Amino acid sequence: MASKAKDVEPKPSVTHSEGHLARPSFCRIRNVPWRTLENEVEAWDNLARTASEPNPFFESWYLLPSLRNMPETETIEVLRFERDGELAGILPVARSSRYYRWPVPHLTNWLHANTFCGVPLVARGCEVPFWQAVLDWADEAPGAALFLHLRRIVLGGPMHTALEGLGACVGRRIEIVHQEARAMLASSLSSQAYLEASLPGKKRKELRRQAKRLADQGDVRFERRTDADEVDDWCSRFLALEAAGWKGAAGSSLASDESTTRLFRESLAGAAGRGKLERLTLWLDDRPLAMLATFLTPPGAFSYKTAFDETFARFSPGVLLQRENLAVLDRPEIAWSDSCAAADHPMIDHLWRERRAVGSLSVAIGGTLRRSLFNCLVKSELSRSTARR
């Protein structure tokens, strides 16, 4: 994929404070080899602090370890958007020859199995210019791609809203071809009040009984840490705990593959070094029974990975840990937390009552013939989806 620059100059806008025309911003987008961004970590971290919509999975400390450790990333490139010479947008992209089970070439945002959000990282106020630049680039350099496919987009969020609005203005077809609702924590209630509203009294009583029975086994304590000390040791304990359970038996634990082991260690160390990691542990004496790694990206948080000791399942250590995790509601800088769990999760869906809509979007690109073929594909896909309901 040859590197190509595209300059975009939005129309001047009127400032609210002084009522005169603001200076037009100079914007451009380039697709660059991902390794070039290893030299822009400081600017990348600054971008994350001003992002319209938080996405830890596209921040430097997660995306770079992903690209370094996941297989077949040599051809992955990054759409690098800048405004007035400053980095203002990041989106990793791939060219795929298959659209799920069909041999249909397309452009897509690059994700892997442990990336739970695909929203581009874009500076606040740049949402529309970013999408305009992305779509112009896709129109002019589509290659064999029939359309642009964006996965794990937060529906109704600032970036999705900006894209939909732009599509409506210019007559570009954008379709939600898949969507699901996953558990989310978002409430003005205290952690205790939320627990009482979420679980019936009988279930809360059962949890208290299990906690009391567990305390009979030894010294029980919860530990919550946001510092960067002993992160590697915590990672080792987590990897061992997860591998000892059903994921280890199925070969799907993080420790089952060296690439995901390295990704886990490197990303948690990077997050902790920036004050963006919370480690919550339920201990029985010196033995971890349940562990949770959460990425803190104000105003939101993302529950990245959790594991529990299945030999203590009768005490529900995972649920006891999640009960303690409700304290994230008491953090003034955190307004919501994304579970990163599959829809209809048997445990977290009963405790976290809010839902976050996440979906896949297909976007028309290129000229008349390409868009005509895209319309036929989308029509067929949507009719199959409707028939399955």
Q: Provide the CB-side half-sphere exposure for 365 (13 A, CA).
A: 27
- Residue 122: pLDDT band with limits 50, 70, 90: very high
pLDDT tens digit sequence for 247-302: 999 999 999 999 999 999 999 999 999 999 999 999 999 999 999 999 999 999 99
Average pLDDT estimate for 240-244: 98
Residue 97 — φ and ψ, nearest 5°? Answer: -90, -10
pLDDT tens digit sequence for 288-339: 999 999 999 999 999 999 999 999 999 999 999 999 999 998 999 999 999 9
Q: Exposure string (b/e) for 173-203, b if CB count within 10 Å is 16 or more? A: ebbbbeeeebbbbbbeeebeebbeebbeeee
Average pLDDT estimate for 73-97: 96
Please check the confidence at residue 17 and state whether its pLDDT lies above 50.
no
**Rounded alpha-carbon distances, angstroms, from residue 96 to 26, 76, 146, 281:** 31, 11, 10, 40
Q: Which helix (H) or strand (E) holds 220?
A: strand 220-225
Please check the confidence at residue 23 and state whether its pLDDT lies above 60.
no
**Rounded alpha-carbon distances, angstroms, from residue 32 to 40, 255, 282, 312:** 12, 32, 44, 49
**Rounded alpha-carbon distances, angstroms, from residue 106 to 89, 100, 153, 172, 274:** 21, 11, 17, 17, 36
Of residues 14 and 300, more confidently modeled: 300
Helices (DSSP H) in the chain: which residue ranges? 41-49, 60-69, 127-140, 158-170, 191-198, 201-215, 231-243, 246-250, 258-273, 317-325, 348-351, 368-388
pTM higher than 0.95, yes or no? no
